[in-house]
Amino acid sequence: MDETATGSGGPGGVGGPGGPVGIVGLGYVGTSLAAVLAEGGYAVRGVDVDATVVDRVAGGQCPIEEDGITERFERYAREGRITASTDASTVADCPTVLVTVGTPLAAADPDLSAVEAATADVAPHVDRGELVVYRSTLPAMATETTVAPLFAEGSGLEPGADFHLAFCPERMAEGSAYEDLTTTPVVVGGLSAGSRDAAESFWSSLGLETVPVSDPTAAELAKLADNWWIDLNIALANELAILSETLGTDAMEVISAANTLPKGQHNVNILYPGAGVGGSCLHKDPLFVASLGEEHGLDLETPRVSRRVNDRMPGHVVDLTREALGGDLAGATVAVLGVAFKAATDDTRNTPAVPVIEGLREGGADVRATDSYVPAAEVEELLGLRPTRLPEALDGAAAVVIVTDHGAYRALTPETLRERVGHDSFAVVDGRHVFAPDAFDGTGVTYRGVGRGARE
């Protein structure tokens, strides 16, 4: 294979700031990346199959709500530095194209239909010497066995020889997307040495550190390994939390002490327990790993174990609420703070708020849900109940359940919370460690926190 695909427009023909770059897929990953690339001087040409998304971009609106991203995206869209279309030919003159479409689960297996469709749409518009980078999470070996053959068929060119093809997984976390995209090293797996070099040159133009690996498969597996580890780590923290509650000790104190032990390259790093794991990546990537193992005759146990443990946590929050209310949810007014799966974002994919609220309602509670980021119409569609503003949600509540630690909820003090509830005979169930466990001591408020034990 020719290792040095050539072309014009910068190192390896990949262009540079001031020139156009294509992004196929304007979901969370693509939209966040568009804002950062526009800030870095690129003219971003987005493609999305959803005409509603395209219309929002044309109107200067960001398709997502994300601190650090929304305001930048809208500014650059209004300036014309970010444009969007449903037509993939809009990337025809882009020396670099990034594919950021979703890869959900179909049953327990990866669904690559969106990746395959995007590849088929883009392939005819790629020229010699250009760079195509996949940011979508892919099962290991998919770049070589699925993407490359589709590109060869659709373009008539040989990937890695006639044009550059690389897999560079997204590694951002929602709620901190801007910081992550501008500081986190980029793993680069090229189909050839030339593809790797071209991709490294592109990311270096943004001042980012790169981590080159031997091939796309190594990069694909590195991404899956990250989220496999995170989900396992949270599962450990969650089971430690439940054990700590049973023993009457504080899991956060235990974790803080445990994390002082030097081990390996750094210290032990147990993450924090909570009300549940949400979002897209941690729900599906461990199952991608399990599915990959099955394909190769391996029974990998830890990916499924972590999913089972973490999926139980919303039910545990319901149990804590029932206990805090004296064993009965029936007729109790419960304010649930947070519908998004994570702070500082409006993303509700796989949010633990859904099973928490379902469990509370099944127990007979009257639930009031509120969220400072998620649009009211989306809350109503997701939960089947009309959301309320924070003051109305808290007024007269028998219990306050914190599922998402948005800034507005972290800003609450015990005093302001008691004032807004209007009485002291209520319970706080803290799923995100917003309050110290002794914050309500002596007030008459009952406190329960994940991993915190009982406080009256």
* Mean pLDDT of the 83-107 span: 95
Active-site residues, by number, are: 223, 281
- Is there a shared CATH topology between the 11-214 domain and the 313-455 domain? yes
Specify the pLDDT at position 109. Answer: 83
Average pLDDT, the chain: 95
pLDDT band of residue 13 (cuts 50, 70, 90) is: low
- pLDDT tens by residue, 14-32: 667 889 999 999 999 999 9
* Mean pLDDT of the 358-374 span: 98
Tokens 């928490």 belong to which residue?
Answer: 356
Specify the pLDDT at position 9. Answer: 38
* Mean pLDDT of the 317-346 span: 97
* Mean pLDDT of the 214-239 span: 98
Q: For residue 62, is pLDDT > 90?
A: yes
List of residues 6+ apart from 46 with CB closer than 8 A: 22, 23, 24, 26, 30, 34, 54, 57, 82, 83, 84, 85
* Mean pLDDT of the 379-384 span: 96
Specify the pLDDT at position 14. Answer: 64
Pairing of strands 43-47, 105-106: unpaired
Which 3-state string (H, E, C) describes the chain? Answer: CCCCCCCCCCHHHCCCCCCEEEEECCCHHHHHHHHHHHHCCCEEEEECCCHHHHHHHHCCCCCCCECCCHHHHHHHHHCCCEEEECCHHHHCCCCEEEECCCCCEECCEECCHHHHHHHHHHHHHCCCCCEEEECCCCCCCHHHHHHHHHHHHHHCCCECCCEEEEECCCCCCCCCHHHHHHHCCEEEEECCHHHHHHHHHHHHCCCCCEEEECCHHHHHHHHHHHHHHHHHHHHHHHHHHHHHHHHCCCHHHHHHHHCCCEECCEECCCCCCCCCCCCCHHHHHHHHHHHHHHHCCCCCCHHHHHHHHHHCHHHHHHHHHHHHCCCCCCCCEEEEECCCCCCCECCCCCCCHHHHHHHHHHCCCEEEEECCCCCHHHHHHHHCCCCCCHHHHHCCCCEEEECCCCHHHHCCCHHHHHHHHCCCCCEEEECCCCCCCCCCCCCCCEEEECCCEEEC
Residue of 61, 52, 199, 82 whose CA lies nearest to 135: 199
Q: For residue 364, is pLDDT > 70?
A: yes
Predicted TM-score (pTM) of this structure: 0.92
Q: For residue 2, is pLDDT > 70?
A: no
Q: Picking from 18-22, 51-55, 73-77, 78-82, which range would have the lowest pLDDT averaged per residue?
A: 18-22
Residue of 412, 371, 418 whose CA lies nearest to 395: 418
Which sequence spans correspond to the domains of the chain? 11-214, 313-455
Q: For residue 6, is pLDDT > 90?
A: no
Alpha carbon distance 24, 48 (integer Å):
6
Q: For residue 4, is pLDDT > 90?
A: no
Question: Which has more confidence, 12 or 222?
Answer: 222
Is 68 within 8 Å of 179 (Cβ atoms)? yes
**Per the CATH hierarchy, to which homologous superfamily does domain 313-455 belong?**
NAD(P)-binding Rossmann-like Domain (3.40.50.720)
- pLDDT tens by residue, 419-434: 999 999 999 999 999 9
Q: Picking from 14-23, 164-173, 229-238, 391-400, which range would have the lowest pLDDT averaged per residue?
A: 14-23
> Percent of the chain having pLDDT more than 90?
93
* Mean pLDDT of the 165-181 span: 96
Specify the pLDDT at position 8. Answer: 37
Specify the pLDDT at position 229. Answer: 98
* Mean pLDDT of the 192-211 span: 98
Q: Which CATH architecture has domain 11-214?
A: 3-Layer(aba) Sandwich (3.40)
Specify the pLDDT at position 108. Answer: 74
| CA 111 remoteness from chain centre | 18
Q: For residue 11, is pLDDT > 60?
A: no
* Mean pLDDT of the 403-421 span: 97
Alpha carbon distance 422, 406 (integer Å):
22
Q: For residue 7, is pLDDT > 70?
A: no
